[in-house]
Amino acid sequence: MPENGRTDTGPTAEPMIRLEQLTKRYPGQDRPAVDRLDLDVPPGEIVVLLGPSGCGKTTTMKLINRLIEPTSGTILLDGEDVTRADPDALRRRIGYAIQQTGLFPHRSVADNVATVPRMLGWDRKRVAGRVDELLTLVGLDPDTYRGRLPRQLSGGQQQRVGVARALGADPEVMLMDEPFGAIDPLTRETLQNEFLRIQSELGKTIVFVTHDIDEAVKMGDRIAIFNAGSGIEQYDTPERILTEPATPFVSEFVGSGAAIKRLTLSRVGDVPVPDWPSIGQDTHRDERAAAVRAGAREFLPLLDADRRPLGWVPADASGDVLDRGLPIVTRIGPGDSLFAALDAMLAANSSAVVVVDDAGAYRGVLDLETILSTVHTDAGPAVPRPGTVATPGTV
């Protein structure tokens, strides 16, 4: 039951980008690369186009900024039909970043980033200021990188510059075609996180292409899943794509582990953290073990004067352990995902992690139980699991 890209669940606001019956047939191809595509992109959201190779994601992007002319159909930008607008002027309003970055190899980082502002005729001072601002925004120190050539940068740094160049004159709309592809997973994750931070400040309308479901779930406010025939199978929020795949194609594309992927969507700050008593540092050391034995938990966190967790005090603590507790390896903050929390538990072979707030102060302890109940919210209450006792080791 393929659906079209009109949102019924979406905000009532006018879409920033609206594609109507957009079709592209390359000469000499027997079937269109993009076939009567309808898609609404709401303002301020990241819409991810996700689908198998060759399904027309890149073609769709190039149709939006008219690097390719549509065979038929209409493109509306902020309510205005741009299907016949001046393409160069149109593109200066739309940021464009691609996987290969396409940085100008003979121009410095600063000149690359200054491309659009210069074309718009900004004066020298304003351009220089903007370049520094953008480099800082994408996490590159202007003094260090301004004068470098693209080839004097790592792949990840080049992609940052590519994004900075696309943001040049502060376009409302950004098109990003696998902007974090072809780099190692660690750098990629850093770039994703930084980009989400930037986006939370800038609130751009973004069309983002990937063929990685994990990236789609992470980056997207909405995901449009394309099938090989360039039809939209489902256009929905990541949560709904994961919990209610509309078609067998979507379930297969999402693959196994949909439940685990949903954990990446929930922030620790958004779930109730169970109450878990703690011991203040002012408690006399001889009374600490007794305090643990008096409660229902096998371990209690020891907090310093600022309520920052120092260590775990087990019921049978003695000696040094009574002074500082067992070391806490990982502290989970409100911005971390439940997936990160679970990962920390598994890594430390324990069933609970310490949760702190942004300032590092103790908020509680997240246990396996809570995570399981979140995963199962839609499938009814978590199955009670008698016998599972939280045993915080050295997490």
Ligand X SMILES: Nc1ncnc2c1ncn2[C@@H]1O[C@H](COP(=O)(O)OP(=O)(O)OP(=O)(O)O)[C@@H](O)[C@H]1O
Which residues of this protein are in contact with another protein, per CB under 8 A? 65, 67, 88-92, 95-98, 100-108, 115-116, 119, 149-151, 162, 165-166, 168, 175
When binding is defined by CB under 6 A, the residue of 19, 22, 33, 50 that contacts ligand X is 33
Helix extents (H) in the chain? 57-64, 87-92, 109-113, 115-119, 124-137, 142-145, 155-166, 185-202, 213-219, 238-243, 248-254, 258-263, 285-294, 320-324, 338-348, 368-375
Q: Of 177, 159, 220, 173, which Cα lies nearest the Cα of 57?
A: 177
* DSSP assignment letter at 151: G
Q: Give the C-alpha separation, 279 to 272, whole Å.
A: 21
| Shortest separation between residue 235's beta carbon and ligand X, angstroms | 16
CB nearer to ligand X: pick between 16 and 49: 49
Closer of 177 and 236 to Mg ion (Cβ): 177
Stretch that binds ligand X, among 52-60, 155-163, 217-225, 324-332 (CB under 6 A): 52-60
Report the alpha-carbon distance of residue 58 to residue 219 in Å, rounded: 18
Smallest separation (angstroms) from another protein to the CB of 119: 6
Least CB distance to ligand X at residue 186 (A): 23
Alpha carbons 343 and 348: distance in angstroms, whole number: 9
* Position 58 contacts Mg ion (CB under 5 A): yes
Which of the choices Mg ion, ligand X, another protein, none does residue 84 contact, using the CB cut-off of 5 to 8 A by kind? none
Whether 347 and 330 have beta carbons less than 8 Å apart is answered as yes
Q: How far is CA 261 from the centre of its chain?
A: 12
Largest pairwise CA distance in the chain: 84
Nearest to 164, CA basis, from 140, 181, 192: 140
- Position 231 contacts ligand X (CB under 6 A): no
- End-to-end Cα distance, the chain: 46
Q: Which is nearer to another protein, 96 or 312 (CB)?
A: 96
Residue type, 340: A
Q: Which residue stretch of 49-57, 238-246, 274-282, 322-330 sits at the interface with ligand X (rule: CB under 6 A)? A: 49-57
Q: Which stretch binds ligand X (CB under 6 A): 57-65, 267-275, 340-348, 366-374?
A: 57-65
- Asked if residues 220 and 206 have their Cβ atoms less than 8 Å apart, the reply is no
Answer yes or no: are the C-beta atoms of 315 and 391 closer than 8 Å: no
Of 36-44, 53-61, 83-91, 314-322, the segment contacting ligand X by CB under 6 A is 53-61
> By C-beta, is 119 or 228 nearer to ligand X?
228
Of 114 and 268, which CB lies nearer to another protein in the complex structure? 114
* Nearest to Mg ion of 7, 101 (CB atom): 101
Cβ-contact 263, 375 below 8 angstroms: yes
Q: How many residues bind Mg ion (CB under 5 A)?
A: 1
Q: Of the two residues 250 and 279, which places its CB atom closer to ligand X in the complex?
A: 250
Which of another protein, Mg ion, ligand X, none does residue 245 bind to, with CB < 5 to 8 Å depending on kind?
none
In the complex, which residues of this chain contact ligand X (CB under 6 A)? 26, 29, 33, 53-59, 211
Sites of contact with Mg ion (CB under 5 A): 58
